[in-house]
Amino acid sequence: MNSKQNDRINQVQENTVVIGIDIASETHYARAFDWRGIELGKVISFGNRLEGFKKLGLWIQTLQKEYVKNQVLLGAEPTGHYWFTLADYIQEHNMNMVLVNPHHVKKSKELDDNHPSKNDRKDSKTIAKLVIEGRYMEPYIPKGVYADLRISVNNRYRIIKELNGIKNRIERWLKIYFPEFKDAFGSTYGKGSMMVLHKAPLPEEVISLGSEGINHIWRVVKLRAVGMNQAKRLYAAALRSVGRKGGNRMARMELMMQLEDYDRKNSQLEVLDAIIENLCMQIPEVEKILEIKGVGMITIAGFFAEVGDISRFDSPKQIQKLAGLAIRENSSGKHKGKSGISKRGRKRLRTVLFQAALPMVVNNKEFQELHMYYTTRRNNPLKKKQSLIVLCCKLIRIIYGISVKGFQYDGQKLLSDIIRPVEMTAA
């Protein structure tokens, strides 16, 4: 995990060359400074290729010999995905690389010249100065099962997003050509309705088949969820349909392409879910975490994809900060403003925890009682969303305790946070 501020500052010593690198898609810029902020050598540019990385390495070696330095600390902004390959090269060559917050670079770039201009040379200097001051973080690059899990979960998010886009296009098509289709089905994406959309999506095709023909589509594959009554409702809906009639041949082709994309994405999702489950089961103590009612495989996958190896943390509070759930104070002098969460860190981790807490207050008895207590207690009752944030932090502590400390989930111990009234305790 990240060191304390003093430890980070102490990493930059008299024998250290601090390199500030401004990352771009094709060409990076680098500037070198000593521990006092005096520039060493001249700014260089190098390409995002092996030749460019070798040029950077040779330049660093030259600086070390010229200024008698035996330590190197490279700092960069995490600009999109462009820094990944450079970070791997630096790590393979036993050099240290740290990251500075782009927000800090933006806010501090006027300290030297009191001017809001931005360019690659100026940014690389600002980055190096932030590193010298210890205002950086050490990047975590997951390895092994955690690297595979992060890539798999990211792909799952992408497929879900693409599936939602396809569903929206299918819904749009139905609103135009068969708006009454939903009158016969609870869901457009059930097996029965999807079979009809593949065979007879247009109202005139449903009328041509008749209710018997529609029912036959389901009987061939022995689908029991739908039957003759539903076929009659669909036939009646087709008879009164106000859907557009022009261009039906190409409209049908349009829907077939959307359905083909939908089926393919669903197949990819099934394969990916199986892979994710297999990866999760390789992580120690996952079976114990699954024993918590309301916590499923997708929650666990999303959590460890963002956190990585949980044993690298010294405290669950560090994971809370990583998720952007650390409390942000807003006070000055006598003024005491409202506090809230920082929302700094990994947004997806925060989303995973919040989406897990929502069903847990319904399905998990202990979380349900805690939520009721937090929102109805006499002193400082919380709003529902505030209570859910508290439960997110509690879930972090539970997963940390099980994974790192080897604890067992104990619902009664969890409820010890509820302060019972004196009379109930006495009773």
| Ordered DSSP codes for 82-124 | TTHHHHHHHHHTT-EEEE--HHHHHHHTTTTTS-----HHHHH
126 sits in the region (left: phi over 0; alpha: psi -120 to 50; else beta) called alpha
224 pLDDT tier (thresholds 50, 70, 90): confident
Question: Is 23 a residue whose pLDDT tops 80?
Answer: yes
329 pLDDT tier (thresholds 50, 70, 90): low
pLDDT of residue 413: 85
The torsion angle over the Cα atoms of residues 362, 368, 371 and 372, rounded to 10 degrees, is 110
Question: Is 333 a residue whose pLDDT tops 90?
Answer: no
CB 181 within 8 A of CB 230: no
The token pair at 393 is 């932090």
CA distance 65 to 80: 33
Residue with tokens 């939908």: 262
Residue with tokens 């690297």: 147
pLDDT of residue 310: 96
CB 214 within 8 A of CB 199: no
Half-sphere exposure of 155 (CA within 13 A, CB side): 16
Average pLDDT over all residues of the chain? 90
pLDDT of residue 295: 94
Q: How far is CA 55 from CA 28, 124, 424, in A?
A: 11, 17, 73
pLDDT of residue 411: 85
Question: Is 365 a residue whose pLDDT tops 60?
Answer: yes
- Residue-wise pLDDT for 34-75, tens only, equals 999 999 999 999 999 999 999 999 999 999 999 999 999 999
CB 353 within 8 A of CB 396: yes
Residue with tokens 């599936």: 163
347-363 helix and 384-400 helix, angle to the nearest 10 degrees: 100
Question: Is 343 a residue whose pLDDT tops 90?
Answer: no
Q: How far is CA 396 from CA 157, 274, 318, 367, in A?
A: 22, 25, 10, 13
> Alpha helices, DSSP H only, in 81-227?
84-92, 102-108, 120-132, 145-177, 191-199, 203-220
Instruction: State pTM to two decimals.
Output: 0.86
The token pair at 69 is 């330095």
User: In the predicted model, what is the mean pLDDT of residues 368-372?
Assistant: 94
Question: Is 416 a residue whose pLDDT tops 90?
Answer: no
Half-sphere exposure of 20 (CA within 13 A, CB side): 33
Question: Is 339 a residue whose pLDDT tops 80?
Answer: no
pLDDT of residue 423: 39
pLDDT of residue 1: 42
Distance of CA 66 to the CA centre of its chain: 45
| Amino acid (1-letter code) at residue 56 | L
CA distance 87 to 85: 5
Could you give all domains of the chain from N- to C-terminal order, each with its CATH number? 5-132 (3.30.420.40), 148-277 (1.10.287), 286-426 (no CATH)
The token pair at 259 is 């359905």
- Residue-wise pLDDT for 83-134, tens only, equals 999 999 998 998 999 999 888 888 887 777 777 777 768 899 999 999 999 9
DSSP assignment string, 352-421: HHHHHHHHHHHH-HHHHHHHHHHHH-SSSPPPHHHHHHHHHHHHHHHHHIIIII-PPP-HHHHGGGS---
pLDDT of residue 366: 93
CB 243 within 8 A of CB 176: yes
CA distance 411 to 161: 36
CA distance 147 to 308: 8
Q: How far is CA 381 from CA 249, 260, 394, 419, in A?
A: 61, 51, 17, 13
pLDDT of residue 326: 84
Question: Is 332 a residue whose pLDDT tops 80?
Answer: no
- Residue-wise pLDDT for 127-181, tens only, equals 999 999 999 988 888 999 999 999 999 999 999 999 999 999 999 999 999 999 9
User: In the predicted model, what is the mean pLDDT of residues 259-275?
Assistant: 97
pLDDT of residue 118: 72
Nearest CA to 37 out of 120, 123, 129 is that of 129
